[in-house]
Amino acid sequence: MRMNAGRLARIPRAVGRLHNAWPHASKPTPLGPGINQRMNITPRDVNYFLAVARHGRLGPAAKACGVTQPALTKAIRRLESECGLVLFERDARGMQLTPEGRRFNEVAEQLGKTYEEVLRVAADARAEQSGRLRLGSTDTTRVGLVSLVLSALVRQRPGLRATLQIGRSDQLARAVADGHLDAAVIPSYGEPPEGCDHVEVGEDPHLPVMSTMHPLARHSRLAPSDLMPFNWIHGARSSAGYQSLKALFARFELPAPTVAVEVEYASETVLSLVRASEMLAMVPRSLYRAADQHGLQLISIPEFHIDRSVLCLTRSGTERSPLTKAFCDLLMVQTRAWRGQRGG
Three-class DSSP category at 158: coil
CB proximity list for 52: less than 8 A, separation 6 or greater: 58, 61, 72, 76, 88, 95
Distances (CA, A) of 288 to 25, 29, 89, 155, 282: 57, 65, 80, 29, 10
Using one digit for the tens of pLDDT, what is the confidence trace for 117-155?
Answer: 777 667 666 655 667 899 999 887 666 788 889 999 999
Q: How large a percentage of the chain has pLDDT more than 90?
A: 51
User: Taking 60 as the threshold, does the pLDDT of residue 231 lie above it?
Assistant: yes
| Contact between 202 and 309 (Cβ < 8 Å) | yes
> What distance in Å separates the CA atoms of residue 113 and residue 92, rounded to the nearest whole number?
31
Per-residue model confidence (pLDDT) at position 338: 67
- CATH fold, domain 206-298, is D-Maltodextrin-Binding Protein; domain 2 (3.40.190)
| Contact between 50 and 77 (Cβ < 8 Å) | no
Q: For the chain, where do the domains classified as CATH 3.40.190.10 start and end?
A: 138-199+309-341, 206-298
What is the CA angle 333-335-336, rounded to 5? 65
Question: Looking at per-residue confidence, does 287 or 222 come out higher?
Answer: 222
Indicate the pLDDT class of residue 318, thresholds 50, 70 and 90.
confident
C-alpha R_g of the chain: 33
Q: For the chain, where do the domains classified as CATH 1.10.10.10 start and end?
A: 5-126
Using one digit for the tens of pLDDT, what is the confidence trace for 25-81?
Answer: 333 333 333 333 556 778 888 889 999 999 999 999 999 999 999 999 999 999 888
Torsion of CA 253, 259, 263, 264, to 10 degrees: 40
- CATH fold, domain 138-199+309-341, is D-Maltodextrin-Binding Protein; domain 2 (3.40.190)
Indicate the pLDDT class of residue 244, thresholds 50, 70 and 90.
very high
- CATH fold, domain 5-126, is Arc Repressor Mutant, subunit A (1.10.10)
